[in-house]
Structure 1
């Protein structure tokens, strides 16, 4: 095994680490407005708000779980509560995305989704969606949604991802009318919800690359579901990615996009390694979410 392979194995194993790092808490104070001296009070206030208002019935109300919602909303308790309500309602309205879904079967999505295992403040986890690679005859659009949701759920078990958030690149190269036709308004709503509208995922920025005016109709489907306060985090780039390089650190971008990150993995490989390194707690949590965990 090469040094690079060793590094990747360590990185994959770390994907299931749910312990808090003291250094991360210092970063969280800057990014998420987290304060150790008042954190317990905020969690207690959020828990009380859940029970007093009765607008949702979350599957968990323990400190560790509620913390991800507070971090996502900069420890502003009412905003964290509204997000939790949206999250619970989204799950209630779309059980087909997780209920009895065979977790490991989502490896079939292959390299439509990729991620760069080089997380740093300002970028966080860089995820890439290559819609032009989506074969509509082989993969159902619902499986794309299921995969995005499960990547989010697994990723948010890790405190690092709760704090650093993520950056998303949607590569539109090769996107066809046949592929666009599967992206109905209902599917568009679910995508926007998974990307942060109804999940405790901190979105640093979203980049559509290889974008042309011919794709305006494609984007119009999504436009009405995107909150006004999210627009300053959405960026459009053509085939010249110099504008992307001004926002996303080259260390976090794969060579394909002019970067230097070589720890780029497909969702298929990522799930293979999650399966390899998972433990009993992981299996229990995913089953509680509704997923099937088959050997």
Structure 2
């Protein structure tokens, strides 16, 4: 039964239709109503044309809604996010241009995601960079995988509306791994976590750390807006502290939870490849990815 549920969940990852039940909770989650939607799309589209600061990949309603939902329909903020997204793509084309989408399966367990989404938590993602072996692939592949995961995830209206929560698990991180965290890499990571991509991170939780935390804080603090810092929580090795913010029902057993539907991103990519359709292939190719058979 568990495996059957997971297969249904994997297939649903490619669903880009809007569920009426989802739109019922959208006013609470992202301030979306028929009125804000109509006015927001009109105002955002006019801003894009009038200011001429960026050339978005697309201009259709479904695409622009990503940015409005990510910024709770505050149109000036959604516009700034769209401009940052376009600038980010121009600045770091190596993260997507010519990247073999299915080759990113090699990142294995460095990213992990829950297939159990609740309105209060959204999609729970876990970054386990301590599992990454620099001998197997460079840090740039971690960034490429992070960007691809985001681009695929934000195709789903469910993910746009619900947003998500991130756990950064620093257990096992070595000096050699942290040495790869240049200011440029740190900036790209913060961009991928919602500064420049239309993903809404409700909160971020840093766990299982020691001395390495100081390196992280020093590198990332200058790139993260003050308002975002208010949503970052430090728990050390205290799982009870983590449980005050995230229901154990949503957490894997590793973190004192009961959720069995957490999957490594390598497996997730395999399932995306299995269930994808022509529309998915076209959208990802239009973004610059190689989508091989």
Asked if Structure 1 and Structure 2 have the same fold, meaning a TM-score greater than 0.5 normalized by the shorter chain, the answer is yes
> What is the CA distance between 1:166 and its match in structure 2?
1.0
Q: Summarize the alignment of residues 135-214 of structure 1 with structure 2, pairs less than 5 Å apart.
A: 135-214=133-212
1:132 pairs, out of 122, 127, 130, with: 130
Tell me if 1:223 matches 2:215. Answer: no
> What is the CA distance between 1:213 and its match in structure 2?
4.1
Is the partner of 2:168 in helix, strand or coil? strand
The total of aligned residue pairs comes to: 293
Q: 2: CA distance between counterparts of 1:35 and 1:7?
A: 31
Q: 2: CA distance between counterparts of 1:204 and 1:237?
A: 17
Tell me if 1:108 matches 2:106. Answer: yes
Q: Summarize the alignment of residues 54-93 of structure 1 with structure 2, pairs less than 5 Å apart.
A: 54-93=52-91
Aligned to 1:253: 251
Q: 1: CA distance between counterparts of 2:68 and 2:236?
A: 36
Q: 1: CA distance between counterparts of 2:151 and 2:35?
A: 28
Q: 2: CA distance between counterparts of 1:11 and 1:247?
A: 25
Aligned to 1:279: 277
> What is the CA distance between 1:231 and its match in structure 2?
1.1
Q: 2: CA distance between counterparts of 1:144 and 1:219?
A: 19
Shifted more, 230-239 versus 189-198: the winner is: 230-239
Aligned to 1:7: 5
Unaligned runs of 5+ in 2: none
Q: Summarize the alignment of residues 14-33 of structure 1 with structure 2, pairs less than 5 Å apart.
A: 14-33=12-31
For the 8 Å contact 1:207–1:237, the answer to whether it is kept is yes
> What is the CA distance between 1:214 and its match in structure 2?
4.5
Tell me if 1:264 matches 2:262. Answer: yes
For the 8 Å contact 1:122–1:204, the answer to whether it is kept is no
Residue-by-residue CA offset, 1:35-60 (whole Å, 9 max, x unaligned): 11341221011111101000101010
Q: 2: CA distance between counterparts of 1:197 and 1:214?
A: 23
TM-score, scaled relative to structure 2? 0.98
Residue-by-residue CA offset, 1:222-243 (whole Å, 9 max, x unaligned): 1111111101110111112111
Q: 2: CA distance between counterparts of 1:214 and 1:59?
A: 38
Q: 2: CA distance between counterparts of 1:11 and 1:133?
A: 25
2:97 pairs, out of 96, 99, 114, with: 99
1:118 pairs, out of 116, 133, 139, with: 116
Q: 2: CA distance between counterparts of 1:117 and 1:233?
A: 23
Unaligned runs of 5+ in 1: none
Residue-by-residue CA offset, 1:197-253 (whole Å, 9 max, x unaligned): 001100011111012245312321111111111011101111121110000111110
Aligned to 2:32: 34
For the 8 Å contact 1:167–1:206, the answer to whether it is kept is yes
Aligned to 2:50: 52
TM-score, scaled relative to structure 1? 0.98
* CA RMSD, Structure 1 to Structure 2 (Å): 0.9
